[in-house]
Amino acid sequence: MSAPPPAAAPGVDEPPPGSPATGRTGATGTATLDAEQPHGSAAEIRDALLPRLVRSVEGSRAVGWTVALVITAFAAVLRLVNLDRPARLIFDETYYVKQAYSMLVLGYEGDWADDSDPAFARGDFSGLTTNGDYVVHPPLGKWLIAIGMKLLGPESIVGWRLSAAIAGTISVLLVIRIGRRLLGSTLLGATAGLLLAVDGMHLVLSRTGLLDIFVSTFVLAAFGTLLLDRDRTRRILAARTAEAIARDGTLKDPWGPRLGVRWWLVATGVLLGLACGVKWSGIYAVAVFGIAAVAWSIAARRTVGVRLWVGAGAVRDGISSALAMVPIAVVTYVACWTSWFASTNAYNRQWAVEVNAVAAEPQRTWLPDTLNSWWEYHLQAWHFHTTLESEHSYSSHPIGWLLQMRPTSFAWQDVDTPAGASGRWVEAVLALGNPVVWWGGAAALLVVIWFAVRHRDWRAWAILAGYVAMYLPWFSYSLPFSNRTIFTFYTVAFVPYVVLALAYALGLVLGPPGASVQRRRTGSWVFAGVVAAALLLAAFFWPIWTGTPIPYDYWYAHMWFHNNESLHVGWI
């Protein structure tokens, strides 16, 4: 089997910059047409334009789907096997799993009695009250957890975590298909998916009843529909440009043809609205993906020879992109609060009537009571998110996240020594990324930045968009005027782009099909070595990702860098 083309070559969908076939190369990396417009029938002109706009994917669709489903099945096994371990609420499951149960029973997040976790794990739910609980995240994530509890019963530990495991498995499939389309290679897409399947951060969050895996999956799905919109609109642009040139001999409209309703962008808006309906961090993706859509439109219009390509892409396509994404994202987000609107006892549901109406200076009296209460809820949640400064032993600075410098311990306890064994045994769950994936991904990120800036490769910019949307915003919480407590496990939101970056770099290491035999052989060995090392380390770290009881000494062997303050709960 021949190796695929490199993940990214200089330029975008064309030969390297400066080669005779490209014509001029724009700042986006998309080559523009020569001054003379192509001639011929509409079909001939379209066929001449398409290779400049859309990159084909090597390999058959059947093989691509077969490989994707096999790796996804492998990921599902890793996420579902022994999902009831540890057999108790761990880390923030104490909030989200119990809130999910109350959603099933009350329709909103109810308040729980103190120290109700042990009873809850035994199937005793008497600690739930009808008082609304103050929560700072929208309802959708808890409803998703509640689906698993509804299917298997609230007393089922697997039920607590089933939805997260399914979401994590789906995201592996998404990465494979996205990687195949983005990098133009079934092998590279499959590699990205396999690396995600064996990443510890993604695995732990897929096996725990928390919210972050849902944000990661929804934003990743939106990234996929964004790429589909790019391909679809470019095919439409090529076809309509060809029709205009064949009919009139040139593009008479200086802004080029209209593209119509961009349904894949509508889908992107829905998915991003759902992401925001789990956690507000999804809003950054709305802005970044919207900018990416407009940038790609500008580049595409320049490529087909539109005279006013900046205005056409920024205004005509920019307005349509915003209308396709933003309103539907807002409507979807509001819909995620349906259960809160339908309730009477949810937290702050009666604020406008019971508090604001009797205040010395009532706020926003022009709003209906329900919307006023909902808006006040958002203001309180915003205050919480921007002022949380509680001390926590696992808090970390985002600059260290790329190397997993301070992982988060989700569970730790001594357990009984098994019969026939000796010594101290422990059970731990550590949200720690696979070192090969993250350390290799950090190096790959430098490669991606280089190819984005130096070679203007749109694929590199696309991967960087994921980092910008789901990673960079956290630095705002580490500025001198902000002491917001944040954790390394938030990186699950952008780990899909880490594996895509690593697959991108591995494609370059592999070399182009026309490279020398020695280059290809060396590249293949490096490629295989990285993947094999990731698999071996996944097997090594599996016990502390899944809460498998192990001897203390074996656990200690995983602590490569020691924290003198709390050795048993940290990587560093």
pLDDT tens digits for 5-33? 333 332 333 333 232 233 333 333 343 44
For the whole prediction, is pTM greater than 0.85? yes
Contact 384, 279 (CB under 8 A): no
> Within 10 Å of residue 325's Cβ, how many Cβ atoms?
28
pLDDT score for 62:
93
Contact 350, 373 (CB under 8 A): yes
Instruction: Cite the DSSP H helix spans in 33-156.
Output: 42-53, 61-80, 93-106, 117-121, 140-152
Give the confidence band of 563 by pLDDT, cuts at 50, 70, 90.
low
Residue 387 neighbours by CB under 8 Å, 6+ apart: 484
Most confident segment among 255-264, 270-279, 395-404: 270-279
Rounded Cα gap, residues 483 and 275, in angstroms? 25
Higher pLDDT, 560 or 93: 93
Contact 227, 462 (CB under 8 A): yes
pLDDT above 60 (res 335): yes
Closest CA to 440 of 530, 509, 524, 540: 530
Contact 398, 493 (CB under 8 A): no
Both tokens of 268, joined, read 């992107």
Rounded Cα gap, residues 134 and 377, in angstroms? 9
Q: Among the listed ranges 85-89, 180-184, 245-249, 325-329, which one has the minimum average pLDDT value? A: 245-249
CA–CA distances in Å: residue 358 to residues 303, 377, 477? 62, 18, 36
pLDDT above 60 (res 481): no
pLDDT score for 56:
82
pLDDT score for 383:
83
pLDDT tens sequence across 148-159 = 999 999 999 999
Contact 259, 317 (CB under 8 A): yes
CA–CA distances in Å: residue 42 to residues 14, 244, 246? 22, 8, 5
Give the pairing of strands 408-415 and 128-132: unpaired
Cβ density class 256-278: b for 16+ within 10 Å, e for less: bbebeebebbbbbbbbbbbbbbb
Can you tell me whether residue 262 is helix, strand or coil? coil
Residue 273 neighbours by CB under 8 Å, 6+ apart: 328, 329, 330, 331, 332, 333, 335, 336
